[in-house]
């Protein structure tokens, strides 16, 4: 039995090594003669330790696995993302040494806070990483412990302002709560926190009735039986929460989609051979089963059918149009 197990492990790790070597061989064929000859930066516009930073650091680790070149995560923070986004759009050199790991939060920045200096179209996407739908969760000993999402929304409609939702101000979790109000006619009291995890803590303590957060921020509480997800703001149910309905299911809608949609960008104008190499390099990392398993642990979802940059740009345009429609309906955008 031990010999059989050892043989199986040898085959498994041998296949993984072969795959990595195969990807590296393909990258060597695409590698321009003069590139890269120094570390490549992955710029993240949010602080170290958060979800975007963790996403980028995992990606950097597996890029280095598939090609022998240093990849450094650089956190350019400030202005809730505006400083880093502005750097990537207007200041980063188009030489292939600066990539951005960004998400759809940038789209709102380009509409409301960039002061017409740049738009999301000034970023050239080269790879889709993953997406992570926002959720609402309630404490299992709270007033909505056994209520459906539809029942919770009806309670906020019947008694406006009595149901409190923890949100991150000026961000997707606040937009989600507002969108539910626009579609349903309900009225929530939105309580701002610095992130999803503090809002979940508030829900556990009875200071708010609903925590708005990503699954990874309270998975431990679900496993401990202290929290229950009641709604997923995705286009379909999440594989990590298969029994939790979407907001669109609860409301008979098709427009409530709020998620972290993460992708890799480069400045416009980089040489085509360098861009082709970077596309292949990033995708070699994203195709690695080990990296995919790491992302699944966080609750993030991947779609490896979405590889072509033109396809990614089209998806971004579609999701941006959905967000823009909400901004118009809510009065944020004229």
Our measurement of the distance from residue 140's CA atom to the centroid of its chain's CA atoms, rounded to an integer in Å, reads 27
- Local structure of 128: helix, strand or coil: strand
User: For residues 332 and 107, is the Cβ–Cβ distance under 8 A?
Assistant: no
**Same domain assignment for residues 86 and 146:** no
Neighbours of 101 (CB within 10 A): 26
User: Is residue 191 a part of any domain in this protein?
Assistant: yes
Would you say residue 306 lies in a domain? yes
For every residue of 249-303, DSSP letters joined together read HHHT-S----EEEEEEEEETT--HHHHHHHHHHHHHHHT-HHHHHHHHHTT-B--
C-alpha torsion 297→303→304→307, nearest 10 = -130
Count of domains forming the chain: 2
**Count of other CB atoms within 10 angstroms of residue 218:** 26
Pairing outcome for strands 71-75 and 123-133: unpaired
Q: Which domain holds residue 289?
A: 36-124+264-329
Q: Is residue 297 predicted with pLDDT exceeding 90?
A: no
Where do we find the tokens 């969760």? 137
Residues 120 and 268 in one domain: yes
Are 235 and 141 contained in the same domain? yes
Pick the last residue of a domain from 220, 251, 282: 251
206: in domain: yes
pLDDT recorded at residue 21:
53
Q: Lowest mean pLDDT of 140-154, 280-294, 315-329, name the range.
A: 315-329
CATH code for the domain of 99: 3.40.190.150
Q: Quick one: DSSP state of residue 205? A: T
The pLDDT assigned to 51 comes to: 77
Query: What number of other Cβ atoms are within 10 A of residue 224's Cβ?
Result: 10
Q: Are residues 236 and 285 in the same domain?
A: no
Could you give the percent of the chain with pLDDT greater than 70? Answer: 93
Q: Which of 251, 272, 303 is the last residue of a domain?
A: 251
Residues 87-138: tens digit of each pLDDT = 999 999 999 999 999 998 788 777 777 888 888 999 899 999 998 899 999 9
What is the tens place of the pLDDT at every residue in 197-253? 889 999 999 999 999 988 878 888 999 999 999 999 998 898 889 999 999 999 999
CATH of the domain at 165: 3.40.190.10
Q: What is the pTM of this model?
A: 0.77
H helices present in the chain, as ranges: 2-30, 51-66, 82-90, 105-112, 149-158, 172-184, 196-204, 219-223, 247-251, 272-286, 289-297, 309-329
The distance from CA 186 to its chain's CA centroid, rounded to whole angstroms, is 27
């Amino acid at each position: 039995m031990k010999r059989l197990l050892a043989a199986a492990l040898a085959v498994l790790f041998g296949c993984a090594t072969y795959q990595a070597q195969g990807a590296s061989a393909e990258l060597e064929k695409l590698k321009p003669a003069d590139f890269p000859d120094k570390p490549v930066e992955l710029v993240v516009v949010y602080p170290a330790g958060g979800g975007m930073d963790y996403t980028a650091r995992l990606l950097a680790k597996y890029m280095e696995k598939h090609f022998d070149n240093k990849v450094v995560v650089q956190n350019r923070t400030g202005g809730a993302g505006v400083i880093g986004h502005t750097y990537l759009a207007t200041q980063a050199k188009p030489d292939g040494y600066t990539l951005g790991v960004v998400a759809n939060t940038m789209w709102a920045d380009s509409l409301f806070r960039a002061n017409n200096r740049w738009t999301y179209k000034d970023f050239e996407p080269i790879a889709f990483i993953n997406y992570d739908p926002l959720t609402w969760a309630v404490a299992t000993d709270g007033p909505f412990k056994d209520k459906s999402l539809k029942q919770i929304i009806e309670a906020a409609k019947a008694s406006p302002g009595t149901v409190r939702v923890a949100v991150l101000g000026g961000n997707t979790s606040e937009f989600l709560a507002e969108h539910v109000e626009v579609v349903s006619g309900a009225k929530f009291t939105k309580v701002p926190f610095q992130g999803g995890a503090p809002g979940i803590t508030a829900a556990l303590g009875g200071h708010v009735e609903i925590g708005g957060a990503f699954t990874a921020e309270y998975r431990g509480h679900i496993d401990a039986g202290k929290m229950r997800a009641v709604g997923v703001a995705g286009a379909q149910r999440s594989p990590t929460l298969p029994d939790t309905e979407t907001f669109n299911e609860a409301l008979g809608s098709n427009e409530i989609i709020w998620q972290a949609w993460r992708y890799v960008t480069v400045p416009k104008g980089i040489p085509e051979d360098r861009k082709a190499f970077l596309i292949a390099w990033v995708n070699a990392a994203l195709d690695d089963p080990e990296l995919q398993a790491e992302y699944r642990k966080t609750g993030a979802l991947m779609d490896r059918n979405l590889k072509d940059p033109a396809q990614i740009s089209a998806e971004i345009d579609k999701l941006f149009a959905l967000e823009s429609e909400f901004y118009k309906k809510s009065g944020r955008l004229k």
